Amino acid sequence: MKVKTFLQYKHQQQAYKIFKSYPNLFTKAELKILREDLKTGDNKSHFKFVAVDKEQVVGFISLATCYATDYSWQVNWLAVHPDFQRLGVGRLLINFLFQKAKKLGLKRLFVETCSCQGEKPARLFYQKHGFKKIARLPDFYARKHSKVIYLKNIVE
Ligand SMILES: CC(C)(COP(=O)(O)OP(=O)(O)OC[C@H]1O[C@@H](n2cnc3c(N)ncnc32)[C@H](O)[C@@H]1OP(=O)(O)O)[C@@H](O)C(=O)NCCC(=O)NCCS
């Protein structure tokens, strides 16, 4: 398995399908934004990485500035193929992203999650990788679906 930084058209399509396979986690509106994000190449404020196993994309992650600030960055999108869960694909991707963050000289990273049951694996995943819960916006996405924000300080 390897991480690729340049997304060919087929990678974009395969990555999109992974997110689409979680209809309870990603809304149609989010998928629309993702489709546009995937089409655009990397630029100085948005980087995308895919994990590829035997020519097949099995995971996707991206790193971007928060709401067009230059100062704060976030893990923007993350998903691993349902058949490849818990095999270390997410770990491979986030460690790659941490390396990129260090190269960019970033000091901290944010990530936004939902408090819902479906995102429990994601929340545990981020905690395992050093993210600390810093805020909770109650009933943000829907009733009882709060936004939970995590922060990780990048150490040299
Ligand atoms: C979150 C997600 C990306 C994790 O990817 P993954 O490749 O399965 O994770 P890894 O195998 O690299 O796991 C690394 C660690 O994260 C934690 N973790 C991951 N999945 C977990 C789960 N289902 N339950 C508990 N801990 C979990 C564990 O600590 C794990 O280490 P371990 O296996 O040695 O115990 C994956 O579950 C996913 O795609 N979820 C659906 C999409 C999603 O929620 N995206 C994030 C939206 S904010």
Q: pLDDT-based confidence at 124, cuts 50/70/90?
A: very high
Residue from 52, 86, 94 whose mutation best tests the ligand 1 pocket (most atoms within 8 A of CB): 86
How confident is the model at residue 67, as a pLDDT? 83
| Ligand 1 pocket at CB < 6 A | 22, 25, 78-80, 85-91, 113, 119, 121-122, 124-125, 128
How confident is the model at residue 68, as a pLDDT? 78
Q: pLDDT-based confidence at 100, cuts 50/70/90?
A: very high
pLDDT digits (tens, 9 = 90+) for 25-51: 999 999 999 999 999 888 889 999 999
Mean pLDDT of all residues in the chain? 95
Q: What is the distance between the alpha carbons of residues 126 and 148, in angstroms, rounded to a whole number?
A: 11
- Are 34 and 17 in contact by the 8 Å Cβ rule? The answer is no
At the top level of CATH, the class of 2-153 is alpha beta
- Are 25 and 119 in contact by the 8 Å Cβ rule? The answer is yes
How confident is the model at residue 23, as a pLDDT? 94
Find the 80 Cα to ligand 1 centroid distance in Å. Answer: 8
Find the 35 Cα to ligand 1 centroid distance in Å. Answer: 23
Q: What is the distance between the alpha carbons of residues 73 and 78, in angstroms, rounded to a whole number?
A: 14
- Are 145 and 113 in contact by the 8 Å Cβ rule? The answer is no
Find the 38 Cα to ligand 1 centroid distance in Å. Answer: 22
Find the 16 Cα to ligand 1 centroid distance in Å. Answer: 18
Alpha helices in 3-111 (DSSP H): 9-20, 28-39, 89-103
Residue from 112, 125, 129 whose mutation best tests the ligand 1 pocket (most atoms within 8 A of CB): 125
Q: How much is the average pLDDT of 83-91?
A: 98
Residue with tokens 């399509």: 13
How confident is the model at residue 6, as a pLDDT? 82
pLDDT digits (tens, 9 = 90+) for 46-74: 999 999 999 999 999 999 999 878 889 99
Residue with tokens 């089409």: 39
Among the residue ranges 13-22, 63-72, 124-133, the one predicted with the least confidence is 63-72
CA diameter of the chain = 42
Find the 122 Cα to ligand 1 centroid distance in Å. Answer: 6
Task: Answer whether residue 7 shows pLDDT above 90.
Answer: no
